[in-house]
A = this chain, B = another copy of it.
Amino acid sequence: MRVTPEAMWVNGRAAEQVSVLDRALHYGDGLFETIGCLEGSPRLFDLHLQRLSEGCGRLGFALHHIEAVRREVPALAFGARRAIVKVLLTRGAAAARAYALTGEEQQMRILLRYSWPQPAASAEGVRVRIAALRLGENPALAGLKHCNRLEQVLARREWSDPSIAEALMFSSSGALISGTMSNVFLVHRSTVLTPSLERCGVAGVMRESVLRLARDAGIDTQVRPVAAEDLEQAQELFLTNALSGIRPVCELSGRRWAVGALTRRLQGLLAPLLSPGATLGGDAHG
């Protein structure tokens, strides 16, 4: 099904094109965020902006676009009951011919608004597979939502069965990391466990929200390297993503689960946060 944006802005103005010299086009030299907006209000916005800022710092982007993003996302979502706003920050048009920067690059800010249909209820959970492709490991890029995503593109090409919602990905050294477009959580007895992302993977804003909510509710959480054996021993398994919240996994490569009690409890804790106008507690997260 073809999906095209309802609106496109480049540096704050309606535009549909960018320079063929943009370094994101040539090198994936950029960062993005995909933000769910309800009643014009961007959900988990502070976490999105925080990750974007951290990405700017690590890639050496100036921070002056962050304030514009803070203003423009709600402006672009204004009036829509449900909308997705994708934000793309690029290094801008190359001022030279190779990887080196000249200092003359003018970073670009692209915002795209898409419709956001009410999701089909998946109370019983989603079916998941294991990706054959493994994620390369690079601490310099780990955690960021940067624009080098060929691994995810290739992993997503591994299946076409529409009843499979996602594939879990391992790292080149054999650790479970995430889905192609989601983070993964395991329940071991009464502990909620999610892979550490120091070597690869994207540190999702929904992952962070679920971890904070679980800690605040007194649920034991662990963020650590997760092995294939940990996955085999999981009593519950769920995925998180900025748009879809918590999705229980009901089947992984033939193994089946009913939706577990801790997953249900976390979904319940999360529900208010996913409503219009909700804000996640800051560092105090009381």
**Is A172 an interface residue, CB under 8 A from the partner?**
yes
Known interface pairs A16-B19, A141-B151, A148-B149; A99-B59 also in contact (CB < 8 Å): no
Name A136's contact: one of B97, B133, B200 (CB within 8 Å): B200
**Is A8 an interface residue, CB under 8 A from the partner?**
yes
**Cα distance A157–B99 in the bound complex, in angstroms:** 9
Enumerate chain B residues within 8 angstroms of A8, measured Cβ to Cβ.
20-21
Which chain B residue lies CB-closest to A99? B156
Known interface pairs A28-B147, A29-B150, A148-B148; A20-B140 also in contact (CB < 8 Å): no
Contact of B114 with A156 in the complex, beta carbons under 8 Å: no
**Is A135 an interface residue, CB under 8 A from the partner?**
yes
Number of copies: 2
**Chain B nearest CB, measured from A270 CB (Å):** 22
**Is A272 an interface residue, CB under 8 A from the partner?**
no
Considering residues A2, A25, A149, A155, which has the most beta carbons from chain B within 10 angstroms of its beta carbon?
A25
Contact of A149 with B20 in the complex, beta carbons under 8 Å: no
Name A3's contact: one of B97, B135, B146, B149 (CB within 8 Å): B97
Known interface pairs A156-B99, A172-B136; A5-B25 also in contact (CB < 8 Å): no
**Chain B nearest CB, measured from A175 CB (Å):** 13
Which chain B residue lies CB-closest to A157? B60
**Cα distance A35–B233 in the bound complex, in angstroms:** 52
Enumerate chain B residues within 8 angstroms of A2, measured Cβ to Cβ.
95-96, 102, 104
**Is A137 an interface residue, CB under 8 A from the partner?**
yes
**Is A68 an interface residue, CB under 8 A from the partner?**
no
Contact of B146 with A150 in the complex, beta carbons under 8 Å: yes
Enumerate chain B residues within 8 angstroms of A16, measured Cβ to Cβ.
19-20
**Cα distance A21–B10 in the bound complex, in angstroms:** 12
Q: Which residues of A contact B (CB under 8 A)?
A: 1-5, 8, 10, 15-30, 32, 34, 59-60, 84, 86, 88, 90-91, 95-102, 104, 110, 112, 114, 133-138, 140-141, 146-157, 172, 180-181, 199-200
Cβ-closest 9 pairs across A and B: A136-B136, A28-B28, A17-B17, A27-B149, A148-B148, A136-B138, A99-B156, A3-B96, A148-B150
Q: Besides A27-B147, A141-B151, 9 other CB < 8 A contacts?
A: A8-B21, A18-B20, A24-B28, A25-B90, A28-B148, A91-B153, A99-B180, A101-B153, A141-B154
Pairs across A and B, CB under 8 Å, 13 listed: A4-B21, A17-B19, A20-B88, A26-B32, A27-B149, A27-B150, A97-B114, A98-B156, A100-B156, A136-B136, A138-B172, A147-B150, A148-B150
